[in-house]
Amino acid sequence: MLGLFTKKEMDVHAAKAFWSWFAEKEEWIVSTIKTNGMDVVWAVDAQIKPVFPYFKKELEFQLGFNNGKGEFFFFHLGNKNLMRDGVLFADMMPNDLAERWKFIIEE
């Protein structure tokens, strides 16, 4: 019976692991984003999917980095759970990353 009512919640452990991975790969992300953006998209996608296990469709996000500032757009696609969890996920971004990256949640 448990399977019928799976929680629609962010996986906090996966979120922490994502931000650790992102911080570790930040230099690669910034240098690769301009030359081969799809490599970055595939890498980020593989790391971010486990954070939102209840969302079975493709997660949509966009990264940009200009003049020493990064933008991480996260699209909730009108999904109330993704909207809520996107805010929690953004709040979990480490302070040192938050100095260089802006996490923007949009529909």
Q: Rounded CA gap, 91 and 107, in Å?
A: 18
CA distance 18 to 92: 10
Mean pLDDT, range 66-88, rounded to an integer = 96
CA 54 – CA 21 distance, rounded (Å)? 21
Q: pLDDT per residue over 17-63, tens digit each? A: 999 999 999 999 999 998 999 999 999 999 999 999 999 999 999 99
The pTM of the full predicted model, rounded to 2 decimals, is 0.92
The sheet that has 60-66: what strands, in order across it?
60-66, 69-75, 101-106
Strand intervals (E) in the chain: 60-66, 69-75, 101-106
Quick one: pLDDT at residue 90? 98
* Whether the predicted pLDDT of 1 surpasses 90: no
- Higher pLDDT residue, 29 or 5? 29
Mean pLDDT score across all residues of the chain: 94
How far is the C-alpha of 39 from the C-alpha of 33, rounded, in Å?
Answer: 8
CA dihedral (34, 38, 69, 100) positive or negative: negative
Kindly tell me if the per-residue pLDDT of 69 is higher than 90.
yes
- Could you tell me the pLDDT band of residue 7, with boundaries at 50, 70 and 90? confident
What integer pLDDT is reported at residue 4 of this predicted model?
54
Q: Which of 64, 66, 67, 18 is nearest to 43 (CA)?
A: 18
